[in-house]
Each structure stands twice: as C-alpha cells, then as structure tokens.
A = this chain, B = another copy of it.
Amino acid sequence: MDQKRYRIRELGTAPGHFEPGPLNAITDVAGVRVGHVTCREGERTRTGATAILPHGGNLFQDKVPAGFAVLNGFGKFAGSTQVVELGEIETPVVLTNTLAVGRGIEAIIRHTLAQPGNDKVVSINAVVGETNDSRLNDIRAARPSVDEISLAIDSAASGPVEEGAAGAGTGTVAFGLKGGIGTSSRLVPVGEETYRLGVLVQSNYGGHLIVAGRDYATSAEHDKDGSIVIVLATDAPLCSRNLERLAQRCFGGLARTGAALSNGSGDYALAFSTAEAVRRTPERRKGVSAVPSLNNDAVSPLFEAAIEATEEAILNSLAMAIETTGFNAATGKASTVKAISLPHPGRR
C-alpha cells in the first residue's frame, strides 16, 4: 500500500485567502515548540501525546496571555477554569487520550516543579486536552504513561511538525477515516504589521466531510461522534479577552469541514499570544503595567485567519494520516481505519 502522504495544499486545496507561513505550521510562530511521543506497540497500543510550548523559557515564571473556548464540552480538558479566570497559561499544553488526562497533569507538574527557578512553586495549572482514540487503541490500558508524556514535553522543538498518526493523533479517527495531528499557519497583515498565526489540531470527530467545499464521497458510514482539540498561537499582542474570541473562531474552520458538532463531541480551542511584550513576567505581574494590545477594531483579520488555518490544519491531519490497524477498546476486537484517498499531485 502506498503510504506516501501529501499535505492538503500540495494536493491543490488551499483554504482561505491569507498566505501560510514558511512551514505552514504552528511553529511558524516564533518560539513555539511541539513534541510528540508516539506509542505504537503490539496489536493494541495506538496512542501518544503531543506537547505544545508557547516559548522556550520558563513558562511558569513568564506566563503567556491566553483564551479558551468550548463548542461542545463532552470532554475532559484540564485547566480551563484558571485559563478563563486569569487569562493565562503557565505550563506546556499537552494533548493525549481521554483516559490519560490525569497522567498528562502529572507530567506537566513534574516538568514544572523541576525547572530551575521553580523550587518554591506550590500551585500549577496544568493544561491538558484529549480526544478518544479507543477505536484503535486499548485506551483502558493506561498508556501513555507519565514518563512517556514527559518525553513529549522534553522533546518539544521548533521546526516542522510531524502530522497524521503521530503523538496524540496516533489512534484518532475523523469522519470514519484516520485522523490525527494537523497544523497550518497564516501571515496576517494588520495595519502596517504582519502577524503570524498558527494552529495545531488533534482531529477525532465526525460529520459529512467537505474538502475544499465539496462533499467528500466516502464508503465510511456516517461517523458523527468524537472530538477535536485546537491550539492556536499568534505573535500578535492580544489581551486575554481577544484571545478568547480568537479561540472561538477556530470552530468556524471546524464547521467548514462538515463537522456534525454532535452530542458526543468534545470541541475545545485554546489560543495564546507569544508576543514578548504581553508576556506576564514576574516584574509585570506586580502592580500596574502598560502592555500593548491590538484593539477590538483591529482584530478581525486574525479572526478570519483562525478560521482558515483551522480548516487547513484539520485537512492536513486527514491527508497526512496513514491507514492504521489497532484495537477497538469498546468492542474488544481488532479494527482498521483507512486513510483518506485524495488524488495525488501528479494526477490532478
């Protein structure tokens, strides 16, 4: 079987109107790091974790402003109330499977406690998203472990991001096809500045797939349940309120792919700003500080870019995924999920 895969843009589909960044990945936003741990063992283990770090420094000391949005809350996203209340993230963001959220928290806490300068830290808001990979993974078997998730955090790096059946996307399924990790980015002119915005998704949801505006014919039955976690980074200086609004827009891209937005879906989006000027350093957290912020009237181009980049990241997660055979934990049987079949570049 030909498992050579192409990103959706290579296949001729380019959602939206803004230009992508050089890698067309969340790592186009300077400082952002991504790490995967992929657990693919025997016939039953098809899972993993993906860590996204807003910057390469001490995140607990130099927090980043953030916003959070829920479309459908059938999910176990950890850390949301503090992100909303304080408008910030203070740890790596970890994506993993539904029953590994507790271990994801443990891994983040260990990481944070161990960092130099954090020896007096006694409160840590770990941010962990998940989707359910039980159609291909023996999710009841407690993998990835805390140590494995720590590997994802420790290996996070800038540069290209592995997509498809990798990290937290190893065992996920979207539209009855193999989903997984996908990413995309946009260059967004606002006034005289050009900001960067990048999105990374863990796709595991259903609906009637639309690719580039066309119903995608598939033999897969209508598979509507599942979830998606969307992480957005931008270097635009935004306050937490506008980051929350930006996170909300990611669901526009989700809808454009034909998502069913069903009862059983956990649809979450998290957006943060990497701009150095808005970073919440110990000095700035004291008393009054003047922080630059892109105002309400100027944010709309970023909103549209969030929609586009999310759509493309999702399509990349499908396009780059490979057919996977694993174990269906709800039925206790082996299962195979096909990859999407799209015309290859030379054959268009």
Contacts and interface: CB of A to CB of B under 8 A. Distances in A.
A225 B262 CA distance: 29
Contacts of A120: 329-332
A292 to B, nearest CB: 4
A190 to B, nearest CB: 7
A288 B294 contact: yes
A49 to B, nearest CB: 13
Contact of A263 (B268, B293, B300): B300
Interface in A227-241: 237, 239-241
Interface string A264-300: 1010100000000000100011111111111111111
A303 B261 CA distance: 7
Main secondary structure of the interface of A (DSSP, over half): mixed
Nearest to A300: B262
A251 B215 CA distance: 19
A77 B190 CA distance: 30
A213 interface: yes
Interface residues of A, number: 98
B297 A286 contact: yes
Interface string A299-341: 1100110010000000000000000000001111000000000
Interface stretch (A28-36, A67-75, A152-160): A67-75
A79 B101 CA distance: 10
A80 B208 CA distance: 29
A284 B295 contact: yes
A307 B122 contact: no
Nearest to A206: B300
A74 B85 contact: yes
Contact of A101 (B98, B105, B245, B249): B105
A76 interface: yes
A78 interface: yes
B73 A85 contact: yes
Contacts of A251: 251-252, 255
Given A102-B103, A288-B237, A288-B294, A122 B132 contact: yes
Q: When A and B form their complex, which 3 residue pairs have the shortest distance between CB atoms, in order from nearest?
A: A213-B213, A102-B105, A73-B85
Given A73-B84, A122-B330, 17 more contacts: A16-B208, A70-B85, A72-B248, A73-B86, A74-B86, A76-B126, A81-B266, A81-B268, A102-B105, A123-B132, A213-B215, A251-B251, A252-B259, A252-B261, A261-B303, A290-B290, A290-B292
Interface of A: 16-17, 70-82, 84-87, 98-99, 101-106, 109, 113, 120-126, 132, 134, 139-140, 190-191, 193, 207-208, 210, 212-215, 224-225, 237, 239-241, 245, 248-249, 251-256, 259-264, 266, 268, 280, 284-300, 303-304, 307, 329-332
25 contacts: A16-B208, A73-B81, A74-B82, A74-B86, A76-B79, A98-B124, A99-B123, A102-B102, A102-B104, A106-B106, A120-B329, A120-B331, A122-B132, A191-B286, A212-B213, A213-B213, A239-B239, A245-B263, A251-B252, A252-B255, A263-B298, A288-B294, A289-B293, A291-B291, A291-B293
